[in-house]
């Protein structure tokens, strides 16, 4: 991966799907030059220095930006075990 910056995996956890999608609309509006890469399912890759901005935009949209673990299967496994899918 020569020339590529290391990215971190984040998950947007919203009150519902509407608010989760609103985060991406607002992100594109506020930061049109910052491309977020959709990885799979609810996971996205961002530049590490964008995390504080992502957390702020998520809060503005009734959501949270959560740094996902390296092993995303583990988080999905816990979601199946917790009532309500692990949402607050």
Q: Which residues of the chain have pLDDT under 70?
A: 1-4, 70-88
Chain CA centroid to CA 49, Å: 14
pLDDT at residue 40, rounded to an integer: 82
The pTM for the full model equals 0.73
pLDDT at residue 57, rounded to an integer: 97
Q: For the chain, list the domains and their CATH numbers.
A: 8-86 (3.30.70)
pLDDT at residue 61, rounded to an integer: 96
pLDDT at residue 42, rounded to an integer: 82
Q: Are β-strands 37-40 and 43-46 bridged in parallel, bridged antiparallel, or unpaired?
A: antiparallel
Supply angle C-alpha 78, 44, 54, rounded to 5.
Answer: 100
């Amino acid at each position: 991966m020569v020339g590529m910056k290391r990215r971190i995996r984040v998950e947007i956890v919203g009150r519902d799907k509407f608010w989760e999608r609103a985060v991406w609309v607002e992100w594109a509006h506020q930061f049109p030059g910052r491309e977020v890469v959709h990885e799979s399912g609810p996971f996205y890759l961002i530049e590490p220095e964008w995390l504080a901005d992502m957390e702020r935009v998520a809060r503005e949209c009734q959501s949270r930006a959560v740094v996902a673990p390296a092993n995303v299967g583990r988080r999905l496994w816990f979601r199946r075990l917790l009532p309500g899918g692990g949402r607050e």
